[in-house]
Amino acid sequence: MQIQMYQLSRLLHDYHRDLYNHLEEHEIGPSLYAAPWFLTMFASQFPLGFVARVFDMLFLQGSEAIFKVALSLLGSHKPLILQHENLETIVDFIKSTLPNLGLVQMEKTISQVFEMDIAKQLQAYEVEYHVLQDELIDSSLNDNQRLDKLEKANSSLRKQNFDLLEELQVANGKIQNLEATVELLLTNEGKLKQSILTLEQERASLLKAVEEMRKKIGGTDGKPLLTRQEHMDAF
């Protein structure tokens, strides 16, 4: 939840800077108004019909849809939110008045959600959050603790590097085996093609010899050579 609140705050900074500054000026973080949205998928405060549409988008797009809906709602109500000048009235408006969506506003919100693409930003802000947390932890450590942490991180990276090298060697061995198998299959394919060609040539020679024998046998009594079917018909 802390990561999601940070991501929403950064997205609000990117898409609606004036609204972000207004909320920051009154020390209103996303956790004061958006936590119930994320915990209940908007079901705690919004109409059931809207919640059903949110669930449709959630199944279609994943958790990214919740951020899009939140951004769209805040952005569409930005002029009204900016009119309030203290923490209590702003939070009360977002929690009480904003959820009372009409049908037109609901459809507008849904349409905006399908037009937004924030996947890369969400990923970047999650990494950014972890980096900031690590920096906060580092700032509270003394030199010995920081050195110990770096040594542990270095040891972990060495182990990961060793594991990756082993995986790489195994992968290279598999690649060599596959290349040898492919080469063998190609050789066998060439041999089979040559065998087929030889058999086709032998077949053509045999057919030609049979035809010549038929002509010779048929020419001894002045009658053409009967075929097997013609012999059967004669009986």
Query: pLDDT digits over 83-106, tens only?
Result: 998 999 999 999 988 888 778 888
Residue 141 has pLDDT above 70, yes or no: no
Residues in the chain: 235
Distance, CA of 94 to chain centre = 34
Determine the pLDDT at residue 9. Answer: 93
pLDDT at 219 (0 to 100) = 58
Report which of 231, 5, 232, 10 is spatially closest to residue 120, judged by C-alpha positions.
10
The whole-model pTM stands at: 0.57
pLDDT at 28 > cutoff 80: yes
Confidence of residue 228 (pLDDT cuts 50, 70, 90): low
How far apart (Å, rounded) are the C-alpha atoms in residues 59 and 70?
17
Q: In the structure encoding, which two tokens stand for residue 111, read together?
A: 């349409």
What local confidence, expressed as pLDDT, does residue 109 receive? 86
Mean pLDDT of the chain: 86
